[in-house]
Structure 1
Amino acid sequence: MKIPVVKRFNKKEFEIVFIDLEDVLLMRSYRGEVYYQTREGLYSQISTFEEHERFLVGQGFKKVDRCYVVQMDQVEFFDDVQQRLYFVSQPVNSDSPSAPVSGAHLKSVEKLINNPGSKEGSASVRNDLSGGLSTT
């Protein structure tokens, strides 16, 4: 079984790699972080938001705001007035799962929604009478 881990090059540079559990010689904890030692080196468990973001983007997710990474193929409704993505086709109330889209990411999200065949996204969207965009 392979698990995603962090291979750190220095304090700021890292990459997400997969190691096979059969290659793990030992696991240890140090200052609240989990480390895996293999013959090839020492790896840490994914623990920060930046590490999770890099892993998830590699799995097809999209950063839509400073603190939000979204699985775009699960998006069912985009409210272009409130600039929010919803995971239900008709958001009824504030309890509906949603994520804000920041101005920095708005154009790329709109591009994904309007061009479902692009390699970055797969949501197909139609204009909804309520003013938002809804997937079909």
Structure 2
Amino acid sequence: MLIPLVKRYNKKDFDIVYVHRNDVLLMHSNYGQINYQHKDGTILNPLSTFEEHERFLTQDKFARVDRCYVVNMDRVEFFDEERQRVFFDPEPVGKTAPSAPVSFSRMDTVKDVRRGSANGSSVQNGNAQFSR
């Protein structure tokens, strides 16, 4: 089993590395911070910050659509341009429909959603319809 961990170079620079669990010598907690020690002596940390999770998820068709939201673009079914929200149901009903806001600066991320689908479904945007 591979474990996604963070290899830090300094406070801002880091890489996501996948470590086989057999290569982990130990895990310990020091004042609430969890550390993994690799067999080569490297100290690694679990994903903990928003940026680390974002970098991990964007490797697999997730995209940041707002300051606090990263969404699975394969699951987006509807984009309401007027309300600037993406929905995960083809026909969202009510306020409880799962959705995420889209910031103005990230609109192109959502407007450019195009993907092939065996069932011919599509992402809808107001009057326009994008093929998936």
The one-letter code sitting in structure 1 at the alignment partner of 2:39 is R
Residue equivalent to 1:58: 59
Gap regions ≥5 residues in structure 1: 118-122
In 2, the alpha carbon distance for the partners of 1:85 and 1:12 equals 30
Q: How many residues align?
A: 127
TM superposition shift of 1:30: 1.6
Residue equivalent to 2:115: 116
In 1, the alpha carbon distance for the partners of 2:129 and 2:67 equals 22
Moved beyond 2 Å, runs of 4+: 123-128, 131-136
Taking structure 1 as reference, are residues 133 and 92 closer, same or farther at Cα in structure 2, changes over 3 Å only? farther
Residue equivalent to 1:125: 123
Gap regions ≥5 residues in structure 2: none
TM superposition shift of 1:15: 0.8
CA contact under 8 A between 1:78 and 1:133: conserved in structure 2?
no
TM-score, normalised relative to structure 2: 0.86
| 1:34 aligns to 2:34 (yes or no) | yes
TM-score, normalised relative to structure 1: 0.84
In 2, the alpha carbon distance for the partners of 1:135 and 1:34 equals 44
Residue equivalent to 1:15: 15
What is the aligned-residue RMSD (CA, Å)? 2.1
CA contact under 8 A between 2:80 and 2:125: conserved in structure 1?
no
Q: Percent identity?
A: 49
Residue equivalent to 2:102: 101
